[in-house]
């Protein structure tokens, strides 16, 4: 189920929908040139913190200041996908698939993922055509 939230920030009313985006969505050039995204980017301030930078788990603190002067704060103690905050098998598979599909066709990406998951039982020669196709087409 998708959740919806209405909030106001900087005089703008927003309708946010919690949805899963592919891992590379944050780096999509077209998305980053979108006027709405650029307007949001202008309202973001990034500040370094030496103490957090020294942390081995990739910590971050996010503070959102709302239009009604509230501050919402979240402290991430460990980046998702690290040993301290591991991804689930489903998350790993989804991330791998999303990263491979631009380079491989969807079917080949699925076969490669399935083969790697059962690598202990797989005929290792089954990987060769999948990987060779990637190297030739990349």
| Burial label, 104 (beta-carbon count in 10 A; 0-12, 13-18, 19+) | buried
H or E element that contains 109: helix 106-117
> Helix or strand or coil: residue 111?
helix
Per-residue DSSP letter, 42: H
CB 58 within 8 A of CB 82: yes
Q: How confident is the model at residue 49 (pLDDT cuts 50, 70, 90)?
A: confident
CB-based contacts of 125, cutoff 8 Å, min separation 6:
none
For helices 89-100 and 106-117, the axis angle rounded to 10 degrees is: 140
pLDDT (0 to 100) of residue 18? 42
Q: Is the pLDDT of residue 10 over 80?
A: no
d(CA 61, CA 49): 9
For helices 106-117 and 127-137, the axis angle rounded to 10 degrees is: 140
Structure tokens at 52: 């957090």
Tens digits of residue pLDDT in 74-121: 998 988 888 999 999 999 999 899 888 888 888 888 999 999 999 898
pLDDT (0 to 100) of residue 60? 87
CA distances 3 to 19, 51, 90, Å, are 8, 34, 21
């Amino acid at each position: 189920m998708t959740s919806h939230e209405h909030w106001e920030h900087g005089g703008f009313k927003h309708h946010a929908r919690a949805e899963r985006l592919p891992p590379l969505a944050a780096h999509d050039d077209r998305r980053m040139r979108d006027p709405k995204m650029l307007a949001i980017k202008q309202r973001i301030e990034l500040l370094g913190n030496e103490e957090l930078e020294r942390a081995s788990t990739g910590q971050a603190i996010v503070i959102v200041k709302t239009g009604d002067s509230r501050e919402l704060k979240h402290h991430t103690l460990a980046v998702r996908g690290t040993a301290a905050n591991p991804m689930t098998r489903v998350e790993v598979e989804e991330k791998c698939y999303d990263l491979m599909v631009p380079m491989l066709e969807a079917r080949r990406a699925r076969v490669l993922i399935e083969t790697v998951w059962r690598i202990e039982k797989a005929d290792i020669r089954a990987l060769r055509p999948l990987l060779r196709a990637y190297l030739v087409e990349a």
